[in-house]
Every structure is written in C-alpha cells, then in structure tokens.
Chains A and B, each alone.
Chain A
Amino acid sequence: MIRSLRILAANPMSLFGLILVVIIVLAAVLAPWITPYPTHNGAVVDFAFANDAPSARNWMGTDLVGRDILSRIIYAYQISLVLGIVVLSISVPLGAVVGLFAGYAGGWVESVLMRLTDVFLSVPPLVLAIAMMGVLEPTLINAMLAVTVMWWPWYARLVYNIARSEREEGYVLAAEVIGASTTHIAFREILPNCLPAIITKMTLDMGFVIIIASSLSFLGLGVQPPTPDLGSMVAEGARYLPDSWWLSVFPGLAILLAVFGFNLLGDGLREILGVDE
C-alpha cells in the first residue's frame, strides 16, 4: 500500500489526479458546510443578483434567478458522485458475475451470456442511454437505472476476457483436480486476478459516468431542475452565449476538472497495478 502510494507520488500527473479527486470528493461531502450559499441548491431565487458576472460576492457569477453558481457546482458534484457510486456499485458486481461465469463455465452458458452482452455493447453508449431515458420519466433514479443497465456489459466483457484466459492456467486446473466447486474457483481463484483491471476501470469509469450523466441532463433527459446538475447548467446557459458566458463555462470546466482528475488517477493506477490497456 505504502509502496503503491510512493509510486503514485513519483509520477507527478497521477499525484495531481489524486489530489484533484480528493479535493472534489471532499468538496462534495462537505458541501453544506463549505458552499458560500448553502441554500442555492434548491428552488431559491434572488432576482436582485440575477445573472451577475463573476465578482467578489459570487466567484463564478450567478445564474438567471440569482443563485450562486459556485455553490450549485459543488452540490452538482455531490449528485454526480452519488450517481457514479450507485451505478458502479450495481453494474460492477452484476457484470463481473456474468463475465466470470461466462468465462469460466464455457459451453452454452458462455454463448448465451456473451451474445446478450454483445447486444448491449453493440449500441453506442450514449445512444442507448438516450433511448432508454427517452422512454422513461426523467428523474435521478431513472437516470441511474438507465446508466446502470448500459454499464454492466462492459464489466462482463472485461471479466470474461480475463476469466477465459485464466481458465487454462495452472492454479485453476489444480483447484479443479482437488475438487473445488465452480463457485469457489470462480470467486476465490479467478476473481482476485481480475481485481486490478476492475479497480482501474472503475476509477476511469467514475469520470465516464460523469460525462454520460451530464450529457443526458444537457439534453434534458436526466436530472430535472431545480436540482443542480452540471449538464443542465451548461444547457441553460448555452442560450445566453456569449454575454453571460459564466453560466455555461464554469459548469463545463467543472466537468472537465472532475473527469480529468479521475482519468489521471485511473492512468496512474493502471501503471501501478500493471494492467494492460
């Protein structure tokens, strides 16, 4: 653990990524205490200060109804991170289990499961999410559902590939000879070897989930106002370019910063854990 941290620290970009992620996570967790205007995540209006450019009072300016954009961005981070965690908590185990069994059991189980996975993987990610949100009510829960449904196949395929190549390895054959059950071999023998790849992908995926979720809400298909969301903030502000540029630019940069941090961290993890690309 200490050694990993030291390797991470030796690579300045990974360290920067770690710092970014830590800052963002802390900001999201401590949101109610650190935001300058804690009530502005809801349906609050303050027309006296509506549509103000960035100033000492509002570092990132205010939106059309007078809410502080910096505060709303921090709350939006909260929502994005929660979304990411929920989506990954469900889709990763689901996908991993499917992939494990398909990869190890083989036979018709493998064919059926992988064909099913292929159907999901065959549609571009955003298109599938859009299509699903299009026929569902736009709420946070549904957005989580839609993204989860389109996410698990990636983990299924990832774990499947590893399980399939590990299937022939010595330690698996040894366990079979001893008479270990399929479940035991899958979970106790093969799965640990998949963990580095899974962890790396999860880190990178946090960023990707943020991109997909903000894209959905940009189109109006995700979280609805007044809940603060980075994508919908950019969408609202897009109509007022270039005059009220801060409406779109700051939320957009907030997305960039968060995803960049997770990507840097994920890349660093990949190097440490020695995962193939």
Chain B
Amino acid sequence: MSPLLRLLVRRLGISLIVLIGVSILIFCIARVIPGDPARIALGPNATVEQIATLRAALHLDESIIAQYGYFIADLGRGDLGMSLYTNRPVTLDIAEFLPATLELVFFAGVLMVVIGLPIGILSARYRGRWPDHIIRILSLVSVSAPSFVWAVILMLLFAFYLPIFPIAGRIKDIYEIDRVTGFLLIDTLIAGNGAAFWDALRHIILPAIALALSGIGQAARLTRANMVETYAKPYIEMAQAYGFFPSRIARVYAFKPSLIPSLTIIGLDFAAMLGNAFLVEAVFAWPGLSRYGVAVILRKDLNAIMGTVLIIALTFVVVNIIVDLLIAILDPRIRLSQRVGA
C-alpha cells in the first residue's frame, strides 16, 4: 500500500475514534446536567403528562448507556431525531442551514490563504524594515479581537457609514434561485442570473472578512515566522550564492519549505472559523447552521444540539484529513521513505 494511502487510512481510523469520543462527551454532559431536559425544552407551561411523554420519547428515564445505544442505532439509520425548535427532523434542518455556513467558511478560508500567505511572504522578505513592522502590528491587532467585534466594526464602517455593502442576509428576497448545491454563489451562476450573483457576493463579503480577519493575521504571522527561519537555512544562502533573483527565492525556494510546517496550523485556523461562524452569523443575521445552533442551544433542544455538534466535528475532521493529505503531498520527506543510491 502506498504510504499516502496508509496515512489516509490511519487518519480515518483516528478520526472515527475522535468522533465517537466527542459524541460521548457531549451526550454525557447533556444528560448529566441538573434539571430536566424535557421540562426545560417544553417551557414553564408544560403539563406533567406532556413532560412524561417527552421523557419517554427521549428515553430519558433509562440508563445513560441505553440512551447512547438508542442514539447510535438511530444514527445508523440516518435519524438524528426531531428538533423541538423547528418541529421537523434535525437532518432536514442541517441540510437546509449547513450550506450557508459552509459557503461562508470556505469563502473566508480562501480569503485567509489568498491574503494571509502573500502578506506573510512580503513581511519575511522585507524583515526588519518598515513594511515588515507595519504588517506585524496589523496582524497582531487582527488576532486580538473576537470575530464579533470585527463584524460590528465592519458593519458600522462599510454597511452603515459608507453604505457599500448590505447589512444582513445572504441575498435580496427578490431573487428566487433554485437550490442546486445550496451554495448561492454557485447556484446563481448555474441559474445564469448575473445580478443575483453579484448580490450574493455583496452579501457574503463583509461577514467573510469579519470571519477571516483573525485567520489572515495568524496566517501572515505564521508564514513570516517560518520564512524567517527558512531564510537562515544553508540552502537559501546557496540559492543566493547562485544569484537567483530575491523575489524568486522568496516566492518559491523559501516559501515552499515554510508552507509545510504552517499547514497544520492553517488547518486549525480554518477549523476555528467553524466556531467563529457562530459569532459572525449572529451579527449579520446569516441563515446558517451556527445561527440555528445558537437557537437550539438556548432552547435546550438536545437532538438538534447533538446533530449540530456532530456535523461541525465531522467537518473539522474532514478538514484535518485534507490538510494532512496536502502536507503529505507537498512534503517529499513524508511521501517517500527509501534511499536512492549510495
């Protein structure tokens, strides 16, 4: 089996264990809380019979192991239970809201890489001089506030004071777009509606920037740090001794070895955006899974909470696997293991 495939299989195995662990953790915490989940969910006006019925439906009177058993059995059938908030299957809720969050997070992820990495390279190339100082300070500022603070500031500046971007939502109501992928940026193009595409783009930019800002700062700082370390390496001096152009050395020969150690952390930052999406979606009223998640959490909607957490953990796991694969592809030291010649 090629080393790449072996890596993939091992990663999948660990991820499975991790997912199980996470589900157990949340499951236990949810049921170990003081207070009756059924009563909290139904509210103060519920009758005793209603509460008893709900408790039976949720198997709350049985042992926790049995409850977990029911949960796994249902999961196997693709059933995450009913949401008390929307009164329909949790799976349906996830299917409706997940694409909005994924679109936002992917867009932000692209911004993070496309803006953060080149800024980091620039910073490293001119290290010690004023572009470097400015970039370093700005990067530090960007990681020093939670995403909701950036969201509020961006909204004030660019949606209210300078009304360039819209304030909330994903797209104007007047546009009726058929749902193909759930990603508006794609669906509008599929429908051939250019105006709708631009509208969707205008709606996604501010939330995506708010979400990506601290990731951009992180990526820039990380890239700079790794590249400064790389610049001290003998093989860069050799490239300089051969007269390779400094810009080429920066973009190619110093960047690639620096990128590899950064990738793990960039993957973590990307995944952290899944968490920060909760904050940004709240400020911009973005109809995504995170906003749904907050709503069901406040209502103690156990099934919905479990479903949401699991999906987010699953996304995180998938992102990690992709990052690991990317690292293996980019770093020949991991990909290959035999010696050649003598």
- Least Cβ–Cβ distance between B278 and chain A, in angstroms: 6
Q: Which of A126, A137, A241 sits near B278, CB closer than 8 Å?
A: A126
8 Å CB interface, A211-265 against B? 211-212, 214-215, 218-221, 231, 234-235, 238, 241-242, 245, 248-249, 252-253, 255-256, 259-260, 263-264
Cβ of B9 within 8 Å of any chain A Cβ, yes or no, is no
Q: Which of B21, B155, B275, B320 sits near A126, CB closer than 8 Å?
A: B275
Query: Please, how many angstroms separate the alpha-carbon atoms of A248 and B29 in the complex?
Result: 33
Number of interface residues of A (CB under 8 A): 47
Q: Is the interface of B mostly helix, strand, loop or mixed?
A: helix
Q: Which residue of A lies closest to B274 (CB)?
A: A124
Q: Are A215 and B14 in contact (CB under 8 A)?
A: no
- Least Cβ–Cβ distance between B163 and chain A, in angstroms: 10
Q: Is the interface of A mostly helix, strand, loop or mixed?
A: helix
- Least Cβ–Cβ distance between A240 and chain B, in angstroms: 11
Among A116, A118, A134, which residue has the most Cβ atoms of chain B within 10 A?
A134
Q: Are B297 and A260 in contact (CB under 8 A)?
A: no
Query: Please, how many angstroms separate the alpha-carbon atoms of A92 and B149 in the complex?
Result: 28
Q: Are B156 and A242 in contact (CB under 8 A)?
A: yes
- Least Cβ–Cβ distance between B279 and chain A, in angstroms: 6
**Smallest CB-CB A-B distances: 9 pairs:** A126-B275, A134-B297, A119-B21, A242-B160, A252-B149, A124-B275, A260-B144, A259-B144, A256-B145
Query: Please, how many angstroms separate the alpha-carbon atoms of A252 and B150 in the complex?
Result: 8
- 0/1 string, B120-138, CB within 8 A of A gives 1: 0000000000000000010
Q: Are A249 and B309 in contact (CB under 8 A)?
A: no
Cβ of B26 within 8 Å of any chain A Cβ, yes or no, is yes
Q: Tell me which residues across on chain B come within 8 A of A241, comparing CB atoms.
A: 152, 155-156, 160
Among listed B75-83, B178-186, B237-245, B311-319, interface-contacting one: B311-319
- Report 28 cross-chain contacts, Cβ distance below 8 Å, ordered by A residue: A115-B21, A118-B14, A119-B21, A122-B15, A122-B22, A124-B271, A127-B275, A127-B278, A127-B309, A127-B313, A130-B297, A134-B305, A135-B33, A137-B33, A215-B278, A219-B278, A219-B282, A221-B294, A234-B148, A235-B148, A241-B156, A249-B153, A252-B145, A255-B149, A256-B141, A260-B140, A260-B141, A277-B222
Number of interface residues of B (CB under 8 A): 54
Q: Given A122-B316, A127-B312, A260-B140, check contact A211 B145 (CB 8 Å).
A: yes
Q: Tell me which residues across on chain A come within 8 A of B312, comparing CB atoms.
A: 123-124, 127
Q: Are B146 and A122 in contact (CB under 8 A)?
A: no
Q: Are A130 and B275 in contact (CB under 8 A)?
A: yes
- 0/1 string, B262-280, CB within 8 A of A gives 1: 0000000001101110110
Query: Please, how many angstroms separate the alpha-carbon atoms of A215 and B150 in the complex?
Result: 12
Cβ of A136 within 8 Å of any chain B Cβ, yes or no, is yes
Additional 12 contacts, C-beta under 8 A, given A122-B320, A249-B153: A115-B17, A119-B18, A122-B15, A124-B312, A131-B305, A134-B298, A134-B300, A135-B300, A218-B146, A221-B294, A255-B146, A267-B140
